[in-house]
Structure 1
Amino acid sequence: MKKITLPLLATLLACLITPSLMAAPSKADIQASVDLRKHWQGLTRDLAFPARWVPDSHEFYYRLTVAGGFAFIKENADSGEKGPAFDQAMVAKGMSQAEGETVTALNLPFDDFWYEDDGISFLLHYEPWHCNLSTAVCAKKPQHSRPIADDEVRDLRMPADNHLRSSPDGKLQAHVIDHNLQVLDQDGKTLLLSQDGTAGNFYDPQTIQWSPNSRYLVIFRVIPGYPRYVTRVLSSPKAQLQPEVIQQLYPKPGDVIDMAQPVLFDLHTGNHTDIDAALFPNAYALANLNWRADSKTFAFEYTRRGHQQARLIEVNAASGKGRVVIDETSNTFIYQWRGYRHDVNNLGNEVLWLSERDGWAHLYLYDGKHAKVKNLITDGDWPVREVVHVDDTKRQVWFAASGVNPGEDPYFVHYYRVNFDGSGLTELTHTAANHHVSFSDDMQYFVDNYSRVDLPNMAELKKADGTLVRTLAKADISRLTAAGFKAPQVFVAKGRDGKTDIWGLIVKPQHFDPSKHYPVIENIYAGPHDSFVPKDFWPFGYHSGGDKVIGMLALANLGFIVVQLDGMGTANRSKAFHDVAWKNIGDSGFPDRILWHQAAAHKYPWYDISNGVGIYGASAGGQSTLSALLFHPAFYKVGVAFAGCYDNRMDKMSWNEQWMGWPVDDSYLRSSAVVNAANLQGALMIIFGEQDSNVDPSSSLQLVNALINADKDFELLQVPSGEHTVGRSTGPIDYVQRRQFMFFIKQMLHQQTPNWNAK
């Protein structure tokens, strides 16, 4: 019998330590985790964010981490001269006055901007803002055009932008009067006035498009859809005691949407023609209408309701007759948000078109005259992610793709150039990393900003052929590393088919001890519109919202392993990988996720899933959190769900019909957390903001109602005035995060949490 020595005894005891026997996180420990982001975010230097180019110039600008915050730098590619992109102190003064709270120059409340008019513009809390650079004045930009809610239903409470729209030759002007199109000559004389427009079938002035030769005009006549309003109560307004009622136009799956009819007007003959609607039956969208350069035709893209058919339709201006140039169909969905089309030389004789018909997103060159494919431009078991530039003269395409290079993370984005005939594929970015590239308008230069979770950002200026001009910035993370930051660990395991690699990250606590066992919590977002595991270094996220690596580390420091992975049903892999989400949002990739967790637990003794896995997520991640607890209760035991859409019938039409289809059927019920609320077995905390303008807050309350009716226990935190990103980028961030942390401590470590009310 082997003698038990003191070192061996210590090892055995360590193996027997369970999370419940570890020291409970103190109030100071929890507060340190809550404060981790604010304490660490300023520790990097010279970390450049992706660049933008000043239009029609060789000047570009980017955001850079400096002592005390962030500087915006502008640089000239030719001369190398650089300086401030704008007066940050002046903008800070203007924002302080506009927001009624102190904004400092090195901590402006936006990550990105663009030059516009006499200043800069940017987005803040979903809304466009503008700051004048000659005076310290910042304000929200006024809304001039009539909004189209979720791109489907016009908000008829708001007036349309009905200014006179001049023909290219300047001799005619068009607008809408009493729901009808009116065309005036230079003397103000009416040349044409339609007679069939009514309040229930009106001409939309915001859709007027003149032909280049000024002879023709096309405009949409619109039958309004159903104006569904989400009504919210602002319980605690800043400026008054009494609550306010807010109404938001918000189309939901299955609602009747606006019906748009393109109408062609010939100003020489006075005739007008309704384009044959048989070409675009049950239209969900008619988009990207443009006149060809010779004024002989115009074209537009059509998506059928249900997202299983897309077409390119061309209309002959002389006859008003339309024809289908490209007809794309799918048994599942066509991801039109990632669609792309380019009319070569803007004549329509040739068309570039993005399709997933062979199982991967690739570019095709079409013969526009004969409506058939000429050749495949890109080819391989990898997806085109974005088309950056097309040179019709050189017959070349610049594009981004991922998964091209064997042995690399298949999500790493690289940039390429290829000829129209598919020859000459040239990679422009060679480092094995994730690349963000921006080109000058003349395509002479590009800025390549690349990194990995374990490789801090490098920003380089390169010529169009990929040769290096100079290094712009190399991130210094020495202070961050000294504070205790360690890069997440990449982990790969096979998915449900036994063949496909599932990629994820493992975040360990700062003071990780491999001899201990740590319970595991998963940070989930499984929306089918993208992939979500961080591939860039910046651990705080390129944009304000979202719980990136630093948020995962803050939670891990309390005694957990925190992970994130992309399961099947998310984007940026093959069509088959993506199709798992079709009419199946509730799947959320869980068969892949569970296998990934089990593979990690098999490899690492400290990866403890013996008592179940915790999970948290926001928005679609909130819905997935409930799906984990309801549909996989033997594996997922504890969840915190933020701002979720818990029944896809309650959420915005555009996102949900894209993945769940139309008409609304029982697949919506199968994925619904509300319908399946009685299945809850684990511990659940629900958090949402009462002013969520992205997901109807009633979705959270309907879940609450269903849980009460099913006699289930749970915790609820409703944040007055909170928006969709409550607890992640707006609202009482620290408070909400602390509540989340303490819930996991109590439910997964089985420890008493500090009394925050005690003095």
Structure 2
Amino acid sequence: MAPLLAFASVAPAAAQVSAEDIQRSVQLQESWLYLTRDVAEPAQWLPGGQGFTYRKTVEGGFVFVTYDSATNSRRAAFDQTAIAASLSKAMNQTFEPLRLPFERISYTADGKAFEFRYAEEGWRCTIADSVCAQAPRTSQPRGFGVVRDLTVPAINTPRRSPDGKWEAYVENFNIAIRPVGGQWKRISFDGSEANFYDPESIVWSPNSKKLAAYRVIPGYRREVTRVITSPSDQVQPKVIVQLYPKPGDPVDIDRPVLFHAETGKHIAIPEALFANPYRMGKFKWRKDSASFSFTFDQRGHQVGRLIEVDARDGTPRAAVEERAKTFINTGSGREFYHEVSELGAEVIWMSERDGWNHLYLIDGRTGKVKNQITRGDWVVREVVKVDDAKRQIWFAAGGMRPGEDPYLQHYYRVDFDGRNLTPMTTVDAYHDVAFSPDMSMYVDTYSRIDLPPVSELRRTSDGSLVATVEKADISRLVAAGFKAPEAFVAKGRDGKTDIYGVIVRPRDFDPNKTYPVVENIYAGPHSSFVPKKWWPFGYQSSGDKTIGMQSLADLGFIVVMMDGMGTLNRSKAFHDVAWKNIGDTGLADRILWHKAAAAKYSWYDIDRVGIYGGSAGGQNTLMAMLFHPEFYKVGIAYNGCHDNRMDKISWNEAWMGWPLDESYAASSGVDNAWRLQGKLMLVVGELDMNVDPASTYQVADALIRAGKDFDMLTVPGGEHGVLRSVGPVDYGLRRHYDYFLRHLAGVGTPDWNRMPASAPGGTVPAAH
């Protein structure tokens, strides 16, 4: 058995942090918010293209502004006072007009309403009369996209053909069609509860003579049961059940079917090219009605295809095929293809086949590469627009500009043949660009961690400036002591690759002192996480954004964050470190980064390093504590997905693979809990709908069985963002602060139980 580590640096509490100091940190986000003006967020164009909407800071909070691009004038996007009142009534909560429960909106097609998501639900508000209600359901819910929730009926509204003469829907699990106004006639007879036709998948051919649909063998209905121990409307607990497929579970098997409408003829489609599917894409008919296509993601995410089906005889073929020895990244906007002119003879295809994420022009008849459109040691991050007529592509990318942080996002235009690569953005910053529907204009909102946001309206033709929409004013914030975080770069485990991070100091920083260090970690393979934009109000955090890095730093810590290997937006090799190895967490790179910072700065106490994170960051935190106890001394893990077999199927199979193997156990915080040596606090919300709360409880069980001491906070009613979702915000934050102050800094904190308090309702019961 390994000897216990000596924590010589953590002495008995000799100093004391006051309640006032902690409360000041708790309230920092609010106090800093009121000191900024015109901090604009990315724009959203109106459907008609006559203007765009964005949110910005004002005294007391945020307003949504609509900018008229023709007149360069501004107006309120909607009546925020009326919307706040309507939402308060609809949700049975209280919302202030300047603190609405959403950051961005999406307009309905007619522009008369907007939609947003809140508490896992979709909401819609009309603009003219400010009426808000839950948005109408547009599809049957699915458990993480792969198992249909059969307790909720599918949307079975008859699908009308493009010529308006036919309708199709599902009747008793089978396809039925009719001339509009005529009698329904079944054209399939093999559907059943265990092998049914999906009405939401029905797509007519452009010439209205054929239709395609999926026939479905349902997957396993795994349910996660949660207990609401402390409901607000009754004394007794409640139980809720969630459809929650996990790694290894059988998923829905979708099989394409083809029918000729007039004859009702069913044409069989051989299945060899799309056997063992994880997910099948929506049907896209070619505009000549001669064929249709769909994407196929094979279980395990190592084979992907664009399948074309001949509409005459149902013969399928692979128009494009992608293979990987590790994983094909099917998330984060990286699963992109475009059939040129809707005929399929050419396909724009996104791939990492040369080691970087790039675009290729594929011959849709042979599957061969006609030419690589983008090339180099940089990554395409998003395709914004493909113009078939001009044979041009607009896209976002990172890492193309020598000497610049490769995570900064810029926008470009390029021809299909790879020529005439043209930058649309030039300022050394992170750019969020929103193009007008007709592509004639764009709004460029850009910033860096040391450059407050600027929002500009420009012409797409030549990039010329039309107007400066907003320019942030942070003068009062700077006067209050705000300083931008320091960008810091060090070499990773291979001695060559740059690892990028940030350092946040206390506002009363003294270079002659030494400070314990706390790492804010989030290392999910689905993205990169170190802030590159200006930090609104000095805040950015994994798991729970209310845990501000600056507010923690102000209590006497250096707070840092970096992106180690295994995260996204670098090379394929950089990303592949996570393959069947999520437990790696990039910790080898992170520790070297810490050591480089300590070598440069005498005030950086490398012997007192703590770590915290939520969700994937919670798992990362536990991995750091279990596998590197010589380095990480104190950790707080929020709602961690501590065992990849316990978490959602989509995220975990994407990186850990299928079928399940020993790699899942190797990355498990449960199976490795016996390794704990430092001080650990587990935090879990009982109503987390993202990560099964049992994942945290199983870690606790394993720690108890191993005889380990640890701390645990279970939050009744707590959700995935556990500190945001329940109770006074200062409770969770001050528990967070207290833990690092006591166990990492070695200082005392107030006896909170002796602080003044009131009984519920403000009455004080008699003492007994």
TM-score tier by shorter-chain length is: over 0.9
Q: Is the 8 A contact 2:15 2:748 kept in 1?
A: no
Alpha carbons 1:526, 1:624 under 8 Å: kept: yes
Inter-partner Cα distance in structure 2 for 1:589 and 1:143 = 40
The 1-side partners of 2:284 and 2:366 are apart by 20
Residues 79, 130 of structure 2: 8 Å contact kept: no
The residue aligned with 2:753 is 757
CA contact (8 A) 2:643 2:669 kept: yes
Residue 248 of structure 1: SS of its match in structure 2?
A: strand
Tell me whether 1:168 sits opposite 2:165 in the alignment: no
TM-superposition CA deviations, 1:243-264 (whole Å, max 9, x none)? 1110000000000111111000
Deviates more, 1:478-487 or 1:503-512: 478-487
Within a 5 Å distance, the mapping from 1:682-701 to structure 2 comes to 682-701=678-697
* Candidates 525, 529, 554, aligned match of 1:528: 525
Instruction: Supply the distance in 1 between the matched residues of 2:370 and 2:438 (Cα, whole angstroms).
Output: 28
For the residues of structure 1 that align with 2:404 and 2:43, how far apart are their CA atoms? 25
Structure 2 residue 292 is the aligned partner of structure 1 residue 298:
yes
CA displacement at 1:198 relative to structure 2: 0.5
Residues 1:436 and 2:432 are matched in the alignment:
yes
CA change 1:304–1:17 in 2 (3 A) is closer
**Alignment deviations for residues 282-332 of structure 1 (CA, whole Å, 9 cap, x no partner):** 110111321111111101111110010111110010111010111110100
1:62 aligns with 2:51: no
Partner-residue secondary structure (3-state), 1:385: strand
- Cα displacement (A) at 1:556: 0.7
1:398 aligns with 2:390: no
Q: Among residues 41, 49, 53, which one is paired with 2:41 in the alignment? A: 49
Secondary structure of 2:281's partner?
Answer: strand
Distance 2:407 2:724 in 1: 25
Partner of 2:719: 723
Counterpart position of 1:8: none
Specify whether residues 626 and 725 from structure 1 end up closer, same or farther in structure 2 by C-alpha distance, changes over 3 A only.
same
SS class of match (1:106): coil
Shift of residue 598, structure 1, vs aligned partner = 0.3
* 1:333 and 2:327 aligned: yes
2:224 aligns with 230
CA contact (8 A) 1:17 1:517 kept: no
Given candidates 257, 263, 273, the residue that maps to 1:263 is: 257
- The answer to whether the 8 Å contact 1:459/1:474 transfers is yes
Determine if contact 1:61/1:74 at 8 Å carries over to the other structure.
Answer: yes
Sequence identity (%): 57
Distance 2:354 2:502 in 1: 30
1:598 corresponds to 2:590:
no
Amino acid paired to 1:274: A
Contact 1:121 1:129 in 2 (8 A): yes
Write out per-residue CA displacement over residues 392-415 of structure 1, whole angstroms, 9 at most, x where no aligned residue: 000000000000001111100000
Deviates more, 1:596-605 or 1:461-470: 461-470
- Deviation per CA, 1:584-621: give whole Å up to 9, x if none: 0000000000000000000000000124x100000000
How far apart, CA to CA, are the structure 1 residues paired with 2:727 and 2:44? 30
Q: Within the alignment, does 1:742 sit opposite 2:738 as a pair?
A: yes
Q: 1:37 aligned to 24, 29, 50, which one?
A: 29
Distance 1:747 1:646 in 2: 23
For 2:273 and 2:750, the matched residues in 1 are separated by 65
1:483-510 CA-to-partner distances (Å, cap 9, x unmatched) read 1111000000000000000000000001
Asked if 2 retains the 8 angstrom alpha-carbon contact of 1:614 and 1:748, the reply is yes
Q: 2:14, 2:747 within 8 Å by CA — same for their partners in 1?
A: no
| Alignment check: 8 A CA contact 1:546 1:729 kept | no
The count of corresponding residues between Structure 1 and Structure 2 is 743
How do residues 258-657 of structure 1 correspond to structure 2 at under 5 angstroms?
A: 258-337=252-331, 338-464=334-460, 465-540=462-537, 546-547=543-544, 551-611=548-608, 613-657=609-653
Note the aligned Cα RMSD (angstroms): 1.7
Q: Secondary structure at the match of 2:659?
A: coil
Alpha-carbon distance, 1:190 to partner: 3.0
Asked if the contact 1:311/1:328 (under 8 Å) is kept, the reply is: yes
Task: Verify: 1:25 aligned to 2:17, yes or no.
Answer: yes
| 2-structure distance, mates of 1:545, 1:409 | 21
The verdict on how the C-alpha distance between 1:241 and 1:175 changes in structure 2, with shifts beyond 3 A counting, is same
- Structure 1's unaligned 5+ residue stretches are 1-15
1:126-171: per-residue Cα shift (whole Å, max 9, x none)? 2111123343432222435321110110111111111111111111
For 2:761, the equivalent position in structure 1 comes to: none
Instruction: List alignment gaps of at least 5 residues for structure 2.
Output: 1-7, 757-768
Is the alpha carbon distance of 1:720 and 1:549 closer, same or farther for their aligned partners in structure 2, counting shifts above 3 Å?
A: closer
Q: Distance in 2 between matches of 1:389 and 1:44?
A: 34
- For residue 428 of structure 2, give the secondary structure of its aligned residue in structure 1: coil
Query: Would you say the 8 A contact 2:538–2:550 is kept in 1?
Result: no
Residue number among 121, 125, 130 corresponding to 2:119 in the alignment: 125
Range 364-373 or range 657-666, more displaced? 364-373
Q: Which residue of 1 aligns with 2:183?
A: 189
Decide whether aligned partners of structure 1 residues 18 and 515 sit closer, same or farther in structure 2, where only a CA change above 3 A counts. Answer: farther
- Residue 547 of structure 1: CA displacement? 4.7
1:300 counterpart SS class: strand
The answer to whether the 8 A contact 1:222-1:258 is kept is yes
Distance 1:192 1:499, change over 3 A: same
Whole-angstrom CA distance in 2 between matches of 1:468 and 1:19? 59
Aligned partners of 1:616 and 1:622 also within 8 Å? yes
**Aligned with 1:43: secondary structure?**
coil
Aligned twin of 1:77: 69
Matched residue SS, 1:45: coil
SS in 1 for 2:607: coil
What SS does structure 1 have at the residue aligned with 2:419?
Answer: coil
Return the offset for 1:191: 4.1
Instruction: Give 1:7's aligned residue.
Output: none
Q: Confirm whether residue 663 of structure 1 aligns to residue 659 of structure 2.
A: yes
CA distance in 2, matches of 1:120, 1:549: 27
Contact 1:49 1:542 in 2 (8 A): no
1:3 is aligned to none
Q: Please tell me the residue identity of whatever aligns with 1:724.
A: H
C-alpha distance in structure 2 between counterparts of 1:69 and 1:719, whole Å: 28
Task: Measure the CA separation in 1 of the matches of 2:127 and 2:79.
Answer: 7
CA distance in 2 between partners of 1:311 and 1:145 (Å): 25
Alpha-carbon contact 2:187-2:264 (below 8 Å) kept: no
- What aligned pairs does 1:239-258 form with structure 2 within 5 A after superposition? 239-258=233-252
Structure 2 counterpart of 1:234, one-letter code? I
CA separation of 1:316 and 1:17: change in aligned 2, threshold 3 A: closer
Query: Partners of 2:714 and 2:546 in 1: how far apart?
Result: 26
Shift of 1:728: 4.2
Deviation (angstroms), 1:180: 0.5
- The alignment's TM-score, normalised by the length of structure 1, stands at 0.96
Q: Tell which deviates more after alignment, 661-670 or 543-552.
A: 543-552
